[in-house]
Amino acid sequence: MISRVDRGGNGQSVFAPPFFRIFIPFGLAYFMSIMLGSANAIMSRILVEEFHLSSYDLGAMSSAYLLSFGAAQIPLGIMLDRLGPRKSLFPLLMIASAGCLLFSRAGGFFSLTLSRALMGIGFCGCLMGPYKAFADWIDAGKLPVAYSLQALVGGIGGIAATKPLALAFEAVAWRDIFVIFSIAIAAMAVVIRAAAPPKKPRKTEEAVSLARQFCAMAGFLGDARFWRIAPVLITTQGVLFTYLYLWLGPWMRDVAKFPENSVEFYMMTASVGSAAGYFLNGMLADWLKKREILSWSGLYLCSGLILTVSLGVIAFFNDRSVPLLWSLVMFMSTMTMIAFPLMRLEFSDDEVGRVLSLLNFSIFAVSFAMQWFVGAVLELYPTADGVFSPGGYRTSMLVITALNAVAAAHLFFCLRRNS
């Protein structure tokens, strides 16, 4: 039950040696995964002009990353529980490296989409890998802090994908930059294989077939514990990946009518908001719980509610008067990452890799649908000189706001029943 989240730790500091062996190598990989995952938001104009992409093409190509990332969570969860994060991530990051190389040589929509799909597969374990490693090696009561610090690195990667990446594209051809990325990712794979801690052995670990593990993982979809926690995280992360990864940049240009330098600035402020949420969700949850102000689940609910209201305000005004409100939306979208330690405490050690990966799969399946949905709605509205219709943005945003409202209401009533 959700009330179990008040279980504390044993007083051991989170900054024990295993933390750094996990945080540093996996953090580098997660930085790259978030930066490259959200790069299309700043690259959208380059890609549309060079490859003559429609809004539907842009949404489909970009969401291929989310779809493949999400689909890969199913085998990833089994890999993490059987092999551990170190052995699992090495081959995956090599696939991501190949995806970057293919992207640098892309000649059209198909190769762009395939390369994004390879990157999605390759980066699929960059957060669940360290989360599983922390669950193995860090005391359960310290997991929110450890998870927050790891997620913060991804938030910094999101910041790097805005103005810094735009400046890099001005200085160096974008194709050459992706060659450099490919080499860097391969090097990170080697570092993880050499430096990260191995899978923690269990005292009583029985051999379980892949088929049984897969069936058990699928069985979590019918587990009430999973669905009490999952919906708010799924919908709020869908907002993060739909807009910060792709559609926020076009919204700034087409709806707010900002020039390119202002688009880059507001994209950066939104990314700073997400990074702050990544960093503070565990810290704030721990601080509030110790002072008996708000439980982890209470903070989780408040984050989902504030995001829903903020996104609704943006949809209502749908103009240049609310760009900084995107920073609050992104902050709250990552504050809901407290769901991962909430979920971890509901399941046993030998289930956690599959459960967290299934949760991540759900996030990216919905994010793919949301990201594609925005492009499909925009395609229904008239386009003038490459500018998508503000009405299309508003319609799609209202639907996404409604989904978040339903998820927050579901969590509210679950908490009331279990109180």
Q: What is the pLDDT of residues 216-270, one digit of tens each?
A: 667 778 888 899 999 999 999 999 989 988 899 899 999 999 998 888 889 889 9
Exposure of 9 in the CB half-sphere (CA atoms within 13 A): 19
Dump pLDDT digits (tens) for 94-134: 999 999 999 999 999 999 999 999 999 999 999 888 988 88
Q: In 3-state terms, what secondary structure has residue 387? A: strand
- The pLDDT score that the predictor gives to residue 11 is 45
DSSP string, 69-121: HHHTHHHHHHHHHHH-HHHHHHHHHHHHHHHHHHHHT--SHHHHHHHHHHHHH
Checking if the pLDDT of 1 tops 60, the result is: no
Cα–Cα distance for residue pair 404/235, rounded to 1 Å: 6
Cα–Cα distance for residue pair 130/143, rounded to 1 Å: 11
15-199+210-418 under CATH 1.20.1260.10, yes or no: no
Most confident of 151-165, 222-236, 354-368: 222-236
Mean pLDDT of 306-324: 93
Cα–Cα distance for residue pair 413/419, rounded to 1 Å: 10
Kindly indicate the confidence band of residue 327, based on its pLDDT and cuts at 50, 70 and 90: very high
Share of the chain above pLDDT 90, in %: 43
Per DSSP, the chain holds a count of helices (H) and strands (E) of 19, 0
Please state the pTM of the whole predicted model.
0.77
Q: At a CB cut-off of 8 Å and minimum separation 6, what does 58 contact? A: 40, 44, 47, 48, 246, 375
DSSP string, 318-329: -STT-TTHHHHH
Q: In 3-state terms, what secondary structure has residue 199? A: coil
Q: Are 209 and 131 in contact (CB under 8 A)?
A: no
Angle among Cα 319, 325, 327 to the nearest 5 degrees reads 130
Angle among Cα 62, 66, 71 to the nearest 5 degrees reads 140
Task: Compute the CA torsion angle 376, 377, 381, 382 (nearest 10 deg).
Answer: -40
The whole-chain average pLDDT of the chain stands at 86
Dump pLDDT digits (tens) for 14-24: 667 778 888 89
